[in-house]
With several copies, the nearest count.
Chain A
């Protein structure tokens, strides 16, 4: 059953150095407040997983929290490169990081297998690509019925799944609507689940196209208003596209990035 905790408590209690952590949210509902709390608490040697590392992992990597990254598309959408990510890959700064690289479908299906309690699942993909040769958790097999070549991807079960949602109720049931990405899969695949929410309400009023994650599947719910900024929360606030465009200026240079972290993350509380 979900506990209601302050974000700092939840991160301190449930995110350990060396953990595999998935902070997901496909463009929508990216848990930036939780990412900043991880930076503030100086977590180290994390393996982090995300389809689109986005600015949130650029920040975690630049702050030295990350030892290994699982991902499938590592850019600043519509803007260009993630400079902290590239600096770590190309120059090992602030420390070298290992890459485990997938297609969106491949990493998604690693979560699906993990959520399904399976050791692996199958897909048509990776066949004929160089990705299929470098990805460590991909094998090939033949369909036992038709003989067709298939890819098997290994289940991913993060130690901690961290997500952002619109609302939770007092019992810890969490309500989400809009683009949901791999929200359900990360909840069901992860050993512990932290969900930050825009607001905690007495009772959830259902919303068109929404779904509810029962408290039963959640470890901690943490209030974090504007906790997805500069990404967006449907029906709460819009994506701050200007901020995404400003990020290269704040992050291309190592010193500029460090002073941004010092001024905007370490001092803050969310």
Chain B
């Protein structure tokens, strides 16, 4: 999942990074095929080049290796809302068929939640303003739901013209990478479809782990397995963090 995610990043792109898998993905790319990837962390850190993987979004390591450190209003208003970011990475506790994401509460009543999650953070703005959004999360039946309990971050529907109605400039989610495979939205209606599975994963398994009747692309492919170099860099990154 991490390796496949890192392959989407092209050298010279600007990438808005959260802590956890997104940070690992971006730093893996920066240490393999995309050395000039421009990493932006929501703490206001621009152009960070961490040697270790940070535990927190505002680690000292991120700031001291950065080109520039700006205030939080500046990173959210000028950089993110200003449309400067090529790709943003998101994860979530729930995702629906239109890639709407929930990181707020599980359960039908916001005021009496079954599970209280951390909340929105920078996710709604990443979803709205980045040119493209890549979602990375584990593929489980609890997470891949027909309708999210709470829309923390806006995806691609149900209305097909949702994003342009809301005036969002970013294209929204273009890819969902999971531990089972890769989903991409239908270019017209925005519904996610399975376009690739990882080596050894059965389509049946993916369908079982998805609460809605998941469409499968007629040109379904199998992702390339991680190369030795990718695995070595990833192990090295993790070992020094």
Are chains A and B touching directly in their complex (CB below 8 angstroms)?
Answer: yes
CA–CA, A105 to B81, complex, Å? 9
Q: Which residues of chain B are near A105, meaning CB under 8 Å?
A: 76-77, 80-81, 122, 124-125
User: Restricting to A152-183, which residues have a CB under 8 Å from any CB of B?
Assistant: 173, 178-183
When the two chains form their complex, are residues B43 and A28 in contact, meaning their CB atoms are under 8 A apart? yes
Contact of B82 among A90, A188, A239 (CB under 8 A): A188
With contacts A103-B121, A131-B152, A179-B63 taken as known, whether A125 is within 8 angstroms of B57 at the C-beta atoms is no
With contacts A124-B128, A181-B43 taken as known, whether A104 is within 8 angstroms of B122 at the C-beta atoms is yes
Within the complex, the shortest CB–CB distance from B147 to chain A, in Å, comes to: 11
When the two chains form their complex, are residues B76 and A77 in contact, meaning their CB atoms are under 8 A apart? no
Q: Which of A6-14, A32-40, A194-202, A209-217 contacts B (4 or more CB under 8 A)?
A: A209-217
SS class, residues of chain B in contact with chain A: loop
Q: Which residues of chain A are near B235, meaning CB under 8 Å?
A: none
User: Restricting to B57-74, which residues have a CB under 8 Å from any CB of A?
Assistant: 57-60, 62-64, 67-74
CA–CA, A211 to B116, complex, Å? 38
Contact of A101 among B59, B62, B64, B104 (CB under 8 A): B104
Q: Which of A56-64, A109-117, A246-254 contacts B (4 or more CB under 8 A)?
A: A109-117
Across the interface, name the chain B residue whose C-beta is closest to A142: B167
Q: Which residues of chain A are near B77, meaning CB under 8 Å?
A: 105, 108-109, 112, 115-117, 123
User: Restricting to B8-22, which residues have a CB under 8 Å from any CB of A?
Assistant: 12, 14, 19-20
When the two chains form their complex, are residues A124 and B104 in contact, meaning their CB atoms are under 8 A apart? no
CA–CA, A188 to B78, complex, Å? 6
When the two chains form their complex, are residues A234 and B64 in contact, meaning their CB atoms are under 8 A apart? yes
User: Restricting to B147-161, which residues have a CB under 8 Å from any CB of A?
Assistant: 150-154
A23 an interface residue at 8 Å Cβ cutoff? no
CA–CA, A103 to B168, complex, Å? 16
Size bracket, chain A contacts? 35 or more
Q: Which of B19, B119, B169 has the most CB of A within 10 A?
A: B119
When the two chains form their complex, are residues A127 and B60 in contact, meaning their CB atoms are under 8 A apart? no
Q: Which residues of chain B are near A109, meaning CB under 8 Å?
A: 73, 76-77
Given contacts A28-B60, A129-B151, A131-B152, 16 further A-B contacts (CB under 8 A): A1-B36, A27-B57, A71-B119, A73-B118, A75-B118, A79-B55, A105-B76, A105-B124, A116-B77, A117-B129, A127-B167, A130-B151, A130-B152, A131-B151, A214-B38, A215-B67
The 7 closest A-B pairs by CB, nearest first: A27-B58, A75-B118, A73-B121, A78-B55, A77-B56, A117-B82, A212-B68
Residue numbers of B with Cβ under 8 A of A are 12, 14, 19-20, 36, 38, 42-47, 54-60, 62-64, 67-74, 76-84, 104, 110, 113, 116, 118-125, 128-129, 150-154, 162, 165-169
